[in-house]
Amino acid sequence: MIDNTPKKKFTSDLNRTGLFHLFVIYLVWSTTYLAIRIAVREGGGFPPFTFGAMRVLAAGAILIFWSWLNGKKLSLSRNDLVTLFISGLLLWVGGNGMVLWAQQRAYSGYAALIIGSTPIWVAIIESFIKKKLPQTALIIFILLGFGGIGILSIPSLLTGNIIDYYSIIALLIASISWGLGSILQKYRQVTTEPVISSTYQHLFGGIGFIFLALIVKEPLPSPTTEAWIAWVYLVIVGSIFAFTSFILALKLLPISLVMTYAYVNPVLALFLGWFFLKEPITPFTLIGALFIVLSVIGIYKYQYKTR
């Protein structure tokens, strides 16, 4: 009985901290789709993989400098090195890289809503890891969110444009890759500090982006002023602050709860795309958004009751 009170308080504090970082992810990553679209769309001037390399390497360099100023230990164990290398490639190159490629043509809100399938892939992958199906309630809430994403996708799917199909495939690959990277971080937690983890993942992701840019022979960038502003925003806010919050949230909260960012982000990203880039919002948008919000509430309540 003596030890119960402090343990509960400690757990509660961790949950509040985790929820704060989840809120940062909700807010900031909703705006990153808009910034990416501005940078890599036709006329933006940034080739997608070159843009990705410039973004994550710049963020990684800033994080290294900050760590050095604060006397942080930059050395890694072999296990940490392998985990951060693989997760960095999955999250940045496989996840963000495919989003960058797709958003050359795909609307920012559309990209965000397809990435909303990430929690479904996480649930499927975790069921294989645990060798059991997710509980019925969680499946229902996840499918509710996926149903909302499907409704939001209807207008684009009805066009029959082959380029739209390629973009959908790229975004689904991004969702699966991001889910794999998230699960790897959850089940193979590293011993180094989250900021150091984020630093190395940025650097490994940057190396992967350079490799891809060379393979596809991307041209040299010639970005507009708007594209440069988008790059600065993504480096400072999208990469350093939000990505570090993502790592912390994974440590402090259930992974299914953390992955609900993929349901919230499409709603905010759709609105931002409509407001700033005049991207269309239809009745499908409103109905799909309602499903997504209900799904987020359901998953949160489920995780709260079962933790």
Summarize pLDDT for 238-281 with one digit per residue, the tens. 888 887 888 888 888 887 788 777 778 877 888 899 999 998 88
More confident residue, 79 or 73: 79
More confident residue, 140 or 260: 140
Q: What is the pLDDT of residue 38?
A: 95
Coil, strand or helix at 26: helix
How big is the chain, counted in residues?
Answer: 307
Within 13 Å and on the Cβ side, how many CA atoms surround 78?
A: 0
CA atoms of 50 and 35, how far apart (whole Å): 15
* CB 45, CB 224: distance < 8 Å: yes
Q: What is the pLDDT of residue 16?
A: 85
More confident residue, 161 or 192: 192
Read off the pLDDT band of 5 (50, 70, 90).
very low
* CB 270, CB 109: distance < 8 Å: yes
Global confidence as pTM: 0.82
In this predicted structure, the answer to whether residue 165 has a pLDDT above a threshold of 80 is no
Read off the pLDDT band of 161 (50, 70, 90).
low
Within 13 Å and on the Cβ side, how many CA atoms surround 207?
A: 11
Span 187-227, pLDDT tens digits: 888 888 888 898 999 999 999 999 999 999 999 999 999 99
Q: Which of 16-25, 52-61, 261-270 has the lowest mean pLDDT?
A: 261-270
Question: In the chain, pLDDT over 70 holds for what percent of residues?
Answer: 91
Question: In the chain, pLDDT over 90 holds for what percent of residues?
Answer: 37
Q: Distance of CA 213 to CAs 39, 53, 167, 175, Å?
A: 16, 8, 18, 21
More confident residue, 45 or 248: 45
Read off the pLDDT band of 41 (50, 70, 90).
very high
